[in-house]
Amino acid sequence: MKLNTLNKNKILKNIDVDRINIAIYNTIGSTNDKCKTLKQSNDFNIVLAEEQTKGKGRMGKEWSSPLGNIYMSIAFSGSKSNEPLSLISGLICQEAINKVIGEDSIGLKWPNDIILNKKKVGGILIEKEVLGSDVTNIVGIGLNLKLVKKESWWGDLSEYQHIDRNELINTILRKFISYCDKGIDNWKEKWETSCMHLNSNIKIQSNNIKINEGMCIGITNRGALRISSNKDGKICEYEYGDISIKGVY
Ligand code: BTN
């Protein structure tokens, strides 16, 4: 693993720097929180840190953020209102990692977990700041390149020693900007192709309480999960929640 420090020039290679404000910190509470304090004076405000002391995960969970991984937040105004930014951000990261490692081994777990070998190697936290009619989207991306202390369900990308953090961040940013400018063709089909639990039996839960169990049959255009319930075969759609799959974290 090339653990070179974060480098602005490498991160912004082949990117129109006039559209971007970028700030890189050694230590910060949370890159998402920092992003929220910045005025949206350019197309994209980007905050990166070597480590976070108050890294935030989904559902109020903590995101372990030691040195050596990727902690990035991207803020931008407006959105393609019908599309699920969270799922699309996961797809962008998954495609970027596969491109950089030169393999197809990274998959997705609904709604936006990034998976390698059935373990979670990355996650996305979307937040929105609304000020009058201005909406700023904050896309927080955490990717584990090397974790020393691991929970059983945490994974990392350390088997890919050749990953260059700056190159991976650059690849994510270029894909992200391209999505904001032009969209992604067939994002739903791409997401479903990368989904590691399509046609598997899954449990869906909210606040750790099981609310349904059944066969995952895909997602809707708005990113809701579609399940054919084990009880009665009824098709149910879920916009929020967490899922668990046997054998996966
Ligand atoms: C998840 O729970 O899966 C989402 C994890 C998101 C972590 C990233 S790290 C960069 C950004 N800053 C934060 O505090 N959280 C997100």
User: What does the pLDDT look like over 69-80, one tens digit per residue?
Assistant: 999 999 999 876
Is the distance from CB of 46 to CB of 73 less than 8 angstroms? yes
Q: Whose CA is nearest to atom 10 of ligand 1?
A: 71
The residue with tokens 């030691």 is 66
C-alpha of residue 140 to centroid of ligand 1, in Å: 5
pLDDT tens digit sequence for 105-155: 999 999 999 999 999 999 999 999 887 878 899 999 999 999 886 788 899
Measured in Å, residue 203 CA sits from the centre of ligand 1 at 24
* Cα(144)–Cα(121) distance, integer angstroms: 5
Q: What is the pLDDT of residue 249?
A: 62
**Residue 203 and residue 91 in contact, taking contact as beta carbons nearer than 8 Å:** no
How many helices, marked H, and strands, marked E, lie in the chain?
5, 12
Q: Is 144 in the pocket of ligand 1 (CB under 6 A)?
A: no
Asked whether the beta carbons of 46 and 173 are under 8 A apart, the reply is: yes
Q: Locate the ligand 1 atom nearest the alpha carbon of residue 56 and give its number.
A: 14
Please determine, looking at this structure, whether the domain spanning 8-193 carries the CATH number 3.30.930.10: yes
Under 8 Å CB-to-CB from 5, ≥6 apart: which residues?
50
**Distance from the alpha carbon of residue 107 to the mean position of ligand 1, in angstroms:** 18
In a 10 Å sphere around its CB, with 0-12 CB exposed, 13-18 middle and 19+ buried, how is residue 51 labelled? middle
pLDDT at 210 (0 to 100): 87
pLDDT, tens digit only, all 249 positions of the chain: 555 799 999 999 999 999 999 999 999 999 999 999 998 889 999 999 999 999 999 989 999 999 999 999 999 998 767 789 999 999 999 999 999 999 999 999 999 999 999 999 999 999 998 878 788 999 999 999 998 867 888 999 999 988 999 999 999 999 999 999 999 999 999 999 999 999 999 999 888 888 899 999 999 999 999 999 999 999 999 998 788 876 666
Q: Which atom of ligand 1 is closest in space to residue 30's alpha carbon?
A: 14
pLDDT at 242: 81
Testing ligand 1's pocket by substitution, the residue of 24, 28, 56 carrying the most ligand atoms inside 8 A of its CB is: 56
Query: Any idea what the Cα angle at residue 92 is, between residues 59 and 122, rounded to 5°?
Result: 40
Long-range contacts of 208-216 (CB under 8 A, 24+ apart): 211/238, 211/241, 212/236, 212/238, 216/110, 216/243
Domain range annotation of the chain? 8-193, 197-246
pTM (2 decimals)?
0.95
Report how far ligand 1's centroid is from the alpha carbon of 67 (Å).
Answer: 14
Is the fold of 8-193 the same as that of 197-246? no
Whole-number pLDDT of residue 133? 79
Strand residues in 44-154 grouped as ranges (E): 44-52, 70-77, 107-109, 113-116, 119-131, 134-143
Q: Which fold has domain 197-246?
A: SH3 type barrels. (2.30.30)
Contact (CB, 8 A) for 46 and 17: no
